[in-house]
Chains A and B, each alone.
Chain A
């Protein structure tokens, strides 16, 4: 079967750095996505990785290791507005997205 695993909840302090991990087992691999979802709102796209390595985009970076079936999202200089759920999704061999349950990130002042 296909499976995406993420921690259910994480807590971090404003101004700090947090790393959200995602491991996956899917039928084929055509890229990994990270989305941000604020409570009661739709998910919005953060990043896409299809090759191994680190992709940096401002305060957010995403890393992929295809051989390990592993990715992480790194958030730097945390702000209160970063409190949200972060969803990991993998595109399988049929180009369908398989979604993780999301990691709820709580930022404390």
Chain B
């Protein structure tokens, strides 16, 4: 069966510090991978998605970046965090083919920028 891991679970960082969140998927090959952010009481905002190694699409211009160094690894980074970067960050995967494409979510990382 497929599993998706994210770490860390919680993170408190000062403004201007760097960020690295990691997501890995097990039990599947060539997944679509996604990074979402959810502000308190809000819906999911798609930040990045990837259909393959080294292929990243950005949905929202901001100070965040993403990389996919391996097939089942997706990393979210920032060089300098802003207060507005606080939120609940979710990684998700789905099967690569088009059509019915249910997304499965990792446990999330709660980031607080102070």
| Contact across chains for A41 and B108 when beta carbons are under 8 A apart | yes
Contacts of B42 in A (CB 8 A): 101-102
Contacts of B88 in A (CB 8 A): 40
- The answer to whether residues A42 and B44 also contact, given A31-B100, A95-B101 and a CB cut-off of 8 A, is no
- The answer to whether residues A44 and B105 also contact, given A99-B43, A99-B44, A101-B42 and a CB cut-off of 8 A, is yes
Interface size class, chain B: 20 to 34
Which of the residues B102, B105, B108 comes within 8 Å of A48, measured between beta carbons? B102
Which of the residues A42, A43, A91, A99 comes within 8 Å of B101, measured between beta carbons? A91
- Of all chain A residues, the one with the shortest Cβ separation from B103 is A97
Bound complex: CA of A95 vs CA of B99, how far in Å?
Answer: 7
- Of all chain A residues, the one with the shortest Cβ separation from B32 is A95
Contacts of B107 in A (CB 8 A): 41-42
- Binary interface encoding of chain A residues 74-107 relative to chain B, with 1 for a CB under 8 A from any of its CBs, else 0: 0000000000000101010001110111101000
Bound complex: CA of A42 vs CA of B4, how far in Å?
Answer: 11
Interface centre among B43, B90, B107, B108 (most CB of A within 10 A): B43
- Binary interface encoding of chain B residues 20-59 relative to chain A, with 1 for a CB under 8 A from any of its CBs, else 0: 0000000000000000000001111110010000000000
- Of all chain A residues, the one with the shortest Cβ separation from B88 is A40
- A44–chain B nearest beta-carbon distance, Å: 7
- The answer to whether residues A96 and B43 also contact, given A33-B102, A43-B105, A44-B105 and a CB cut-off of 8 A, is no
Which of the residues A33, A45, A87 comes within 8 Å of B43, measured between beta carbons? A87
Interface check A54, CB cutoff 8 A? no
Contacts of A41 in B (CB 8 A): 107-108
Bound complex: CA of A91 vs CA of B44, how far in Å?
Answer: 14
Contacts of A102 in B (CB 8 A): 42-43
Bound complex: CA of A101 vs CA of B42, how far in Å?
Answer: 5
9 A-B pairs in the complex with CB atoms less than 8 angstroms apart? A30-B101, A31-B100, A42-B106, A43-B105, A45-B104, A99-B43, A99-B45, A102-B42, A102-B43
Q: Which residues of B contact A (CB under 8 A)?
A: 41-46, 49, 88, 90, 98-108, 110
